[in-house]
Structure 1
Amino acid sequence: MRHTVAGRPVRTDPGTDPALAGGWAPGARLGAPATGGLALPSATPSRSWLYSPRGVHLDPGLLAVADTGNHRVLLWHGLPDTDEQPADVVLGQPDAVTEGRAAGGRGPENGMSLPTGVLVHDGRLVVADAWHHRILVWDSVPRSDDVAPDLVLGQPDPAGVEPNAGGACSAATFYWPFGIGIVDGRFWVADTGNRRVLGWDGGIPGPGRPADVVLGQPDPSAREENRGEGVGPASFRWPHAITGRDGLLLVADAGNHRLLGWAPAPDADRPASFAIGQPGLDTGDEWPYAPQTAAGLRFPYSACLDPTGDRLAVADTANNRVLLWDTVPVDGRGARHVLAQPDFAGNGENRWAAVLADTLCWPYGLSLHGDRMAVCDSGNNRVVLWHRTEPRP
């Protein structure tokens, strides 16, 4: 049912079809507690509140969240199981109540500016400190607050924060690096502002080492959107997230409303093998109006391939939903399941209704691991932990 308020379409909330949700249901909610109304961030940060979270990593023993608007990363050792559960560790600020870029003005050595990507690999914590144009690495996951990183990549020293390290674009510099991943033994960075993806052989590199692979540009100094041409199979507009497995690399090219897939994963710049969210490799069209479809995407800012299986989850951000496939859709087929909308046609923020446990407003990041998934519900200033039970018949 629809009506209008001040000319804007509003739908009384029909809920999510359990069959389409495939057994997925929301659990603990971290951050803004308001349901049934606006979910606003607190004026004062705490261990329990979030402001526009945009990145998350989930594994059986750890949850790491890029609390982007508060310029920090929060860690929970052990998965939270209650709403508004306080974080165990705060990084990027001197304490749990300080806000502001660069540790509340203390300096970038321990601070962050709009961190987005977050990853834990082989016991190391990696953070894409996007607006400081660098990657931060901790050799072990901290268990106390305000621990400085062990490595800084993309800048000459821990105080450096200039785009492309204050110089020309190169294979060792970044401009708004938003996404990170380890796929096929390579460390990959979505170097969003330079419209490319960089890859390092042998995992996380040392400081100053140039990338071994540059995708999306003809050479390491180039940084034009879509290579200065039209949308194509080897170009990006806003590459934003990276996932995959051995033999497969997936990049969420948010600005072109698609995921690009390489199979096998590339070891040099070359065209993608297939696209998800577009009818072909040469289109990047947006369809901003309802009804939506099971195969279309609008600004997909995150994607995650389940490390325990073949399931793919995509944060279809501007459609305010999460799409799930049981296997990677190399043939272009639509998603099997949809979360946060009543059906595949819906795309309203919070279903054009209230903020409820199973609604989303601009889901920006997600992490899938088996039958658990963490979703950064950025517009609602929270992270929702979803779990999967046996789907209803």
Structure 2
Amino acid sequence: MNSAAHINSEIDNKSICCDDPQRIFGGELNALGLPSPIRSDRSSLFAPRGLCRHPSDGSLWLSDTGHHRVLGWQHPESGQTDADIVLGQDQGESRNRGSEASANTLNVPCGICAHGAGIAVADSWNHRVLIWLTLPTEQQAPDIVLGQRDFNSALANRGENHAEANTLYWPSGVLSDGERLYIADTGNRRVLIWDTKPSANGQPADRILGQSNFQCRDENGGATASAGSMRWPHALCFWQHRLCVADAGNNRVLVYNSRLPESHAQSQWILGQTDSVNSLHNGGAMGASAKSMSMPYGISSYGHWLIVADTANSRLLAWHDGHLESGAAAKALLGQIDFTHCGDNAWLEVNKHSLCWPYGIDVYQNQIAIADTGNSRVILRQLAL
């Protein structure tokens, strides 16, 4: 048996995770069996989107998006339900605390990542990314803002009709290798890359993917979809030596054969579509399959595996790099009984195994954290890959 056939026989149709969740944060249900999220205490969540486990200590950081705040658990596996740290709010849940943007407010925070000794947060509707150079230990202001001149500014593209290397429009995803910073600048349909750790407010990016220049913000660069264009890039991850971009608006993932592509580079592989031109939900088919996606909003990796939150299909999919080719079928699944089903909570009542519009995902050691956004909860599960 050749090696590719052996991989097929070993990994086709695996479950991504072991049977039972190890922890669930949030997700309380009312008497009707529906989520009860509208509270401002430290244990409730409302449509969380982004999350990360910090590699320095395993702490859990998540964007509690509907409450316009970031929560941090220093020991997420301890059984403690209340977050240790709250950023962006005091006791409320209003956008920018019901006032104007400042260093201590958030407005629809989305992606979050470890960035060196600290964290970076995509403060999406303030059109900025906030950077804490060290992990917050209390409610404290960030050190650096990108996309705006200062912490009190919050206009898309700084109020201009075009983009620039130092502006942002609805940034959704952030990624860091400890020095370089990558931002999925969703409303400008591009990915920006800083070659060195940003050190000043409003610092311009060095590289760009998805557009032919820093000023253009058209969907797919003003043309049809291609291997180098984007429409609503939403999340980023490294997959061994590759950079991957969840291009949610084109219902696909772009895979670059480098962690640091040159500006305007073409992706080498496309997952979720059969070619670089098709951009329809589930490839234009009536239902889902192992080769299709519908609005993938989250992405992470685990060794040889790429894991994608196929959000509108309410499932996670995983690809093995032994089968990396454009249009390849996923080899593992979570959230549905098979690759053809795609109902929210599998069209059943919410339960500990179900998913409803999963967004952010992040792998730490052999555990995955899942922002199960439609169920207003975060799940920690052990990987079975």
* Corresponding residue of 1:229: 223
Structure 1's 107 and 230: CA in aligned 2 closer, same or farther, altered over 3 A? Answer: closer
Match of 1:367 among 350, 362, 369: 362
> Structure 1: which amino acid aligns with 2:150?
D
Structure 1's 187 and 24: CA in aligned 2 closer, same or farther, altered over 3 A? Answer: farther
Task: Please say if 1:113 is aligned against 2:113.
Answer: no
Secondary structure at 2:15 match in 1: helix
Structure 1's 81 and 325: CA in aligned 2 closer, same or farther, altered over 3 A? Answer: farther
Secondary structure at 1:66 match in 2: strand
Secondary structure at 1:243 match in 2: strand
* Corresponding residue of 1:176: 170
Secondary structure at 2:321 match in 1: coil
* Corresponding residue of 1:303: 299
Match of 1:209 among 199, 203, 208: 203
Match of 1:64 among 61, 66, 72: 61
Structure 1's 218 and 227: CA in aligned 2 closer, same or farther, altered over 3 A? Answer: same
Give the whole-Å Cα distance in 1 for the aligned partners of 2:58 and 2:65: 22
Is residue 101–residue 153 contact of structure 2 (8 Å, CA) maintained in 1? no
* Corresponding residue of 2:351: 356
* Corresponding residue of 1:87: 83
* Corresponding residue of 1:154: 147
* Corresponding residue of 2:253: 259
The alpha carbon displacement at 1:208 in A equals 2.6
Deviations 1:148-189 (A, max 9, x none): 111111111110000012234100100001001125953110
Give the whole-Å Cα distance in 1 for the aligned partners of 2:351 and 2:32: 8
Secondary structure at 2:21 match in 1: strand
Secondary structure at 2:336 match in 1: coil
Is residue 36–residue 354 contact of structure 1 (8 Å, CA) maintained in 2? no
Match of 1:336 among 323, 331, 337: 331
Give the whole-Å Cα distance in 2 for the aligned partners of 1:130 and 1:328: 36
Which region of structure 1 is more displaced relative to structure 2, 20-29 or 225-234?
A: 20-29
Structure 1's 245 and 325: CA in aligned 2 closer, same or farther, altered over 3 A? Answer: closer
Structure 1's 140 and 247: CA in aligned 2 closer, same or farther, altered over 3 A? Answer: same
Is residue 256–residue 267 contact of structure 2 (8 Å, CA) maintained in 1? yes
* Corresponding residue of 1:163: 156
Is residue 195–residue 223 contact of structure 1 (8 Å, CA) maintained in 2? yes
Structure 1's 283 and 183: CA in aligned 2 closer, same or farther, altered over 3 A? Answer: farther
Matches within 5 A, 1:309-328: 309-327=303-321
Deviations 1:3-50 (A, max 9, x none): xxxxxxxxxxxxxxx953453542211112239963423332210000
Give every structure 1 segment of 4 or more consecutive aligned residues whose post-TM-superposition deviation is greater than 4 Å: 288-291
The alpha carbon displacement at 1:246 in A equals 6.0
Is residue 313–residue 368 contact of structure 1 (8 Å, CA) maintained in 2? no
Is residue 69–residue 114 contact of structure 1 (8 Å, CA) maintained in 2? yes
* Corresponding residue of 2:214: 220
> Structure 2: which amino acid aligns with 1:188?
Y
> Structure 2: which amino acid aligns with 1:305?
S
CA RMSD of aligned residues (A): 2.2
TM-score, normalization: structure 2?
0.89
Give the whole-Å Cα distance in 2 for the aligned partners of 1:114 and 1:384: 21
Give the whole-Å Cα distance in 2 for the aligned partners of 1:42 and 1:302: 22
Q: Which runs of 5+ in 1 are unaligned?
A: 1-17
TM-score, normalization: structure 1?
0.88
Q: Tell me how many residue pairs correspond in the alignment.
A: 367
